[in-house]
Amino acid sequence: MTTTPDQQPLTGRHIGETENALRAILDRLLAEADTSFHQWVLLNAVGTTEPALTPGHAVDRVAHGLKADPAVVRATLDGLLALGLLVVVDDHLQLTASGTARFEQIRAGVQAVTGRLYRDIPLADLVTARQVLETVTARANAELAATR
């Protein structure tokens, strides 16, 4: 039985092409806000996580999620603190007024693009896609952990 391209299963190529296209859009939004990708991930983690993250937990979480060197993430965090976008209060990270403005600017851009990209995709399909990607991610993380 022959399959047409739209009947082929999801592959790493599909995931990679999607990730690359989305990253290119995000990179444009970040350039407009004079923010690096690692800075954005940290600002987003602080801006969306309850309860508030300690600096160490933020570094661990972002390094794990990005598969990045914790020293690089820590340097990025130190840079955000030096820029006055983040502050440590009672051992927890908080966005400053400038950090909140930057976070909200980028987040609004991401939400607008996401709305356009997802606009006519049925909710059930989006839920299924999320579940499949979460399963693949969990298995990939387990594979990485097993080979350390």
Q: Domain 27-119: give its CATH code.
A: 1.10.10.10
Single pTM value for the model: 0.88
Q: What is the pLDDT along the chain (148 residues), one digit of tens a residue?
A: 566 767 788 899 999 999 999 999 999 999 999 999 999 999 999 999 999 999 999 999 999 999 999 999 999 999 999 999 999 999 999 999 999 999 999 999 999 999 999 999 999 999 999 999 999 999 999 999 998 7
Please give the radius of gyration of the chain, using alpha carbons only, rounded to the nearest integer.
18
Q: Is the Cα dihedral 112, 118, 123, 124 positive or negative?
A: negative
Question: What tokens were used for 138?
Answer: 């969990």
Per-residue HEC secondary structure of 23-83 comes to HHHHHHHHHHCCCCHHHHHHHHHHHHCCCCCCHHHHHHHHHHHHCCCHHHHHHHHHHHHHH
